[in-house]
Structures are given as C-alpha cells and as structure tokens.
Structure 1
C-alpha cells in the first residue's frame, strides 16, 4: 500500500490518535508518579512522626527519672543531713550555756563530733550515688568492678564480671550511660528478680562494643505491656538510644533474664 494513496485526512487522524495516545500515557505516568511520590512522602512523614513520638516518649521518661532522682536526693538531704545538722546546731548552742560541768561539755562535744562524722559520711554516700568517684577517676571498668563489689557485699548475690574491652577515657559521658544501665539491671535482678547470681561480660565484636548480662532470678514476662511500660525499662531504652546502640532482652517466668546490648 502506497503512503501517498492514503488520504491526507486519515494521516492527520492517525497522527492525532498517536499524539492523543502519548498524551494519555504521559498524563497517566504523571499521575502515577505524583501519587507514588505522594505516598512515599506520606510514609516518610509517618516515619518521622514515629521517630519524634519515640524521642518525645524517651525525653518524658528521662524527665520523670530526673524528677524521681531529685526527690530522692532531697529526701536524703532532709532526712540524713539536715536533721543531723539541726542537732549539731542545738548542741553547739548548748555549749554557750552557763554553769556547764566539764562532763557535760565533754558529752556535748562528743555528740557534735559523732553527728558531724555521720553527716559527712552520708553526704559522701549521696555524692557517690550521683557520680561514683572511682568511675570518674578510673573509668567504666573500675566503676563496674566497684559496683559488683558493692552488690556482693550484701552476701545475697554473687557477681561474675569479665571485661575484654580497652575503654577510651575520652568517652566517659557515653560510658556513664552504660554504667547506669548495668546499675538499673542489677537493682532489678536483686530487688525484683531475687537473683543469687549475676554475670556481666564486656566484649568487642567486629569493632562494636557489646555487653552480655544474665541473672538466675525468677524472671518476668517481657512481652507484657506492664513490663515494657516500667520507668526502669524506659530509662534503659533512652540510654541505649543516646548510645546509638541496640538492646535485646530475653526473659520468662522462673528462667532468669538475659540482656544483650551494644554501645
């Protein structure tokens, strides 16, 4: 068939139909990419909203933890320090009284010395809880060693500690989060888990620091919402997030607790 024999109108019609086809395909592709992009953007927004919500929840948990810690410190200062200093003040005032015998002066002075010594000892304990001097001076390894010794001093639990990492002294801020995580886990093992044995191992695998923690306590149902909502667990999750690490907790009733986290 000769193209020249095709009427001009049919050629124009064919060109129009082809053009219309490409226009429709183009519009369809534009609509497809528009909605695909819109869906991608929507998913990204949802993802960012989830991250923001998680960060907000972590911040809330940290603020609550800080408030609880402030109340505990205030209570300790009031009960242990202020009360003793008040008695010291009263005894000091008694020394200004007239006609005191030598025995009375000696007794009052001894009371002042004893109460002052107790107040100093309690203030050291409060400061130690805020930031252990051994940790501050010698780092995470020494801090964890002392922590293990403190728990073993109660004679109700045996702690096995092994460290295979040479910690960088310039990362003490990060290591403090690791210390607090272990402190929280050990407190839970002793207070709630009734554990008699605790194991802590620091190791480095493929350049990543990790910690394996285990106890032989009564354990708990980690999948329950009540366990996951606990302030202690939220506090641990927040610290792991700051460390850009990951955590995996395995536990069942009467089977102890196993915790693995990276930092």
Structure 2
C-alpha cells in the first residue's frame, strides 16, 4: 500500500511538474512574442522618423529654392526687362533694332513665366493661403491649361481635418501621380478624387492612358514613385495600383 501511495504521489508530482513546465514555456513564448512586437514597433518608429526627417528636409529645401528663385532670379529678370524697355524707348536706338528688342522682351516674359511655374510647383502659394482643396483645384487647372489634357478634379468630401504636414504630403502625392500620368501615360483625361473623412482619407488618381506593366514600376517611374510610397508610408496608409498595358492606370490611396 505504501508503494502504491508513493507511486501515485510521484505520478502526481510528475504531472504537476509537466503542467508547470508547459505553463512556463507558454509564458516564455508570449514574452518572446511581445519582445519581438516591441522590437518591430521600435524599428517601424525609427523608419518613420527617418522618412519624416527626409520628407521634412525635402520640403524645407523646396521652400528655400522657391524663395531664392522668386526673390533672386525673378527680381533680376524683372529688372532686366525694365532696363530693356527703357533702352528701347531711348531716342538714340535705331528703328531697325526695335524688332530685336521686342524679341528679347518676349523671351524675358517667357523666362519669367517659366520661373513662376517652377517656383509655384516647388511651394504653391495656394496651399499656404487657401488650403489643400483649393490648392489642388489650382494645380489641376494649371495642368489642363498647360498640357491640353482634360483634368477632372473631384473633391468628394471635406468632413475631416488634416494636419498641415499631412496636407503637404497629400498635395505632393497627387502632384507626383498627375505629373507621372502626363509624362508617361499619354492620356486624354485624368481624374483626381479626394475624400477627407472624419476617420479615413481617400485619394484616387486615374487616367485613360497607355498603362504599364506593374513589374516594371520601379524601372519606369524612378524616384517619383519612391517618394509617393514614402509619403504614403509616413501617413500609415495603403496604396493600390490597377493598371495593364493599354488599359490606363488607377492609383488608390487610403490612410
């Protein structure tokens, strides 16, 4: 009887030890999983901080260059134009030089116009003065006017609020996608849709151009699409691209 009782007690101890071992192993596995999740979160935050610093640096550089172009080179060209006008009106200038002066003035006007467009693309005044919705309307109108491509801008809702940083990133995303469509797709029409909701914001840029092979995306679109991806990632969003050769392109972003 003593032997049986000892055997039963030993079996109970072995069973309890086994249960305790499994419990400890489960706790260790959970702690390891939590540790891995923390490491992944830290790495993601580090990556996002790196992306934020890079994008912030890009915007600061754009702003600086735009200001330098406007205040420096823009002022120089305008001053040169005024000097030419005054020289043209000088009685000592022969009449046969009038055509040359007019041509020079026309070239200066074109240069000043191009300079303003470049400065506007680098840091659009409408975004600062009137906000994202109107800045995008201004951008789409400018693209349609300069390229002859029909650009349909459709702000579907504006119920939510975006931070100033998010507004800049959304503008840059749409700017890059539209410019890519103009440059590569040869479209007759581009549709730009923006929906700013209380919870989610959605962006769609669609064209009826020639489309492309998604496998060739990184080769054909270069750093432009890389910047779009970085901004979408910073916004903690998702991007889906629907395209095929000959079938146009639709880019859908949500964050």
TM-score by length of 1: 0.68
Deviations 1:121-171 (A, max 9, x none): 565444322222222211222111111111111343111122222366774
Moved more, 165-174 or 116-125: 116-125
Q: Check conservation: 2:66, 2:119, Cα contact below 8 A.
A: no
Residues 1:253 and 2:245 aligned together: yes
Instruction: Give unpaired runs (5+ residues) of structure 2.
Output: none
Q: Deviations over 1:219-257 (max 9, x none)?
A: 112234635983112211222233333221111111111
Q: Which residue of 2 aligns with 1:137?
A: 129
Distance 1:53 1:125 in 2: 36
Q: Give the distance between the partners of 2:54 and 2:213, measured in 1 at CA.
A: 21
Once superposed, what is the RMSD of the aligned Cα atoms? 4.4
Of structures 1 and 2, the larger Rg is shown by 1
Q: How many residues matched?
A: 242
Matched, 1:16 2:5: no
Task: Indicate conservation of the 8 Å contact 1:163/1:203, yes or no.
Answer: yes
Residue aligned with 1:190, SS? helix
Which stretches of structure 1, 4 residues or longer, exceed 6 Å deviation after superposition? 70-77, 85-88, 115-120, 167-170
Paired residue for 2:231? 239
What residue in structure 2 maps to residue 103 of structure 1? 92
Residues 164 and 202 of structure 1 are in contact (CA less than 8 Å); yes or no, is this contact kept in structure 2? yes
Map of 1:3 onto structure 2: none
Residue-by-residue CA offset, 1:36-68 (whole Å, 9 max, x unaligned): 235524642663476368547846974896699
Provide structure 1 residue ranges, at least 5 long, that are not aligned to the other structure: 1-5, 96-100
For residues 156-187 of structure 1, the C-alpha deviation after alignment (integer angstroms, 9 at most, x for no partner) is 31111222223667744322211111110111
Taking the aligned partners of 1:207 and 1:116, their CA distance within structure 2 comes to: 49
Q: C-alpha separation between the residues in 2 aligned to 1:69 and 1:137?
A: 17
The answer for the alignment partner of 1:174 in structure 2 is 166
CA contact (8 A) 2:154 2:192 kept: yes
Distance 1:57-1:217 versus aligned 2 partners, 3 A rule: farther
> Cα distance, 1:214 vs. partner?
0.7
